[in-house]
Structure 1
C-alpha cells in the first residue's frame, strides 16, 4: 500500500510539475504579449503627440486663413457697395437723360409749327441771297464787258 501511496504522490508531483511548466509557459507568453502591447501603446503615444502637434499647427494656420479671409471679405464688401452705388448713379443718369429726351421731344412737338416757319424763312433767305449773288455777278460781268468795249 505504501507503493500505491508513493505512486500517487509521484503522479501528483509530476502533474504539479507539468501544471507549473504550463503556467510558466503561459505567463511567459502573456508577458511577451503585454510587452508588445506596451511597446505598441508607447509608439501610439508618440504618434498621437506628433499628430496633436500637427493638428495644433494646422488649427493655427486655419485661424490665420480665416482672419485673412474675413478681412478680404470686408474689403470685397466695400467694393461691391461702391459698385452698387455706381450702378444706382448710372441708373439715375439714364433716367434723367430719358426725361431730358422726352422734354426735348415734347417741346419740338409743341413748337413744330414755329420750327416749320423758321425753316421756311431760312429757305426764303437762302433764295434771296442766291438771287442777290446772281445779280451782283451779272452786274460785274456787264461792267467788265463795258470796260472791254471802252478799251477795245
Structure 2
C-alpha cells in the first residue's frame, strides 16, 4: 500500500506540474495580449494628442474667424443704416415733390381760366398792333 501512496504523490505532482505548465502558457498568452493592448493604447494616445492639437488649432482659427466676421458685420451695419436713412430722405423728398406738384396742378386748374383770358387779350392786342403797324406803313408810302 505504500506504493499507492507513491503513485498518488506522483499523480498529484504530475497534476501540479501540468497545472503550472498551463498557467505559464496562459500567463504568456496574457502577457502577449497585454503587450498588444499596451501598444494599441500608446498609439491611441498619440492619435488623441494629435487630434487635441488640431482641435485646439481649429478652435483658435474659428474664434478668429468669428471675431473677424463680427467686426465686418458691425461695419456693414453702419452701411445699412446709412442706406436706410438715404431711403427715408428720398421718401421725404418724393412726398415734398408730390405736394408741390399737387399744389401747382391745383393752382394751374384754378388759374387756367384767367390764363386763357390773358392769352386771348394778348392775341387781340397783337392783332391790333399788327393792323396799326400795317396802316402806318401804308400811310408812309
Give the TM-score of the pair, scaled to structure 1: 0.84
Instruction: Point out which structure has higher relative CO (alpha carbons under 8 A, 6+ apart).
Output: 1
Q: CA deviation at 1:127?
A: 3.1
Cα distance in 1 for residues equivalent to 2:62 and 2:107: 66
Which residue of structure 1 lines up, in the alignment, with residue 37 of structure 2? 37
Cα distance in 2 for residues equivalent to 1:123 and 1:29: 129
Q: CA deviation at 1:125?
A: 3.5
Q: How does 1:118-129 map to 2 (within 5 A)?
A: 118-128=118-128
Cα distance in 2 for residues equivalent to 1:128 and 1:19: 150
Taking structure 1 as reference, are residues 132 and 52 closer, same or farther at Cα in structure 2, changes over 3 Å only? farther
Cα distance in 2 for residues equivalent to 1:104 and 1:40: 92
Q: CA deviation at 1:122?
A: 2.8
Q: CA deviation at 1:124?
A: 2.1
Q: Unaligned stretches of 5+ in structure 1?
A: 144-152
Cα distance in 1 for residues equivalent to 2:126 and 2:40: 113
Q: How does 1:3-152 map to 2 (within 5 A)?
A: 3-128=3-128, 131=131, 135=134, 139=138
Q: CA deviation at 1:38?
A: 0.8
Q: CA deviation at 1:114?
A: 1.1
Taking structure 1 as reference, are residues 30 and 120 closer, same or farther at Cα in structure 2, changes over 3 Å only? same
- Which structure has the bigger radius of gyration? 1
Cα distance in 2 for residues equivalent to 1:87 and 1:107: 30
Q: Unaligned stretches of 5+ in structure 2?
A: none
Cα distance in 2 for residues equivalent to 1:128 and 1:101: 37
Taking structure 1 as reference, are residues 129 and 44 closer, same or farther at Cα in structure 2, changes over 3 Å only? farther
Cα distance in 2 for residues equivalent to 1:99 and 1:10: 126
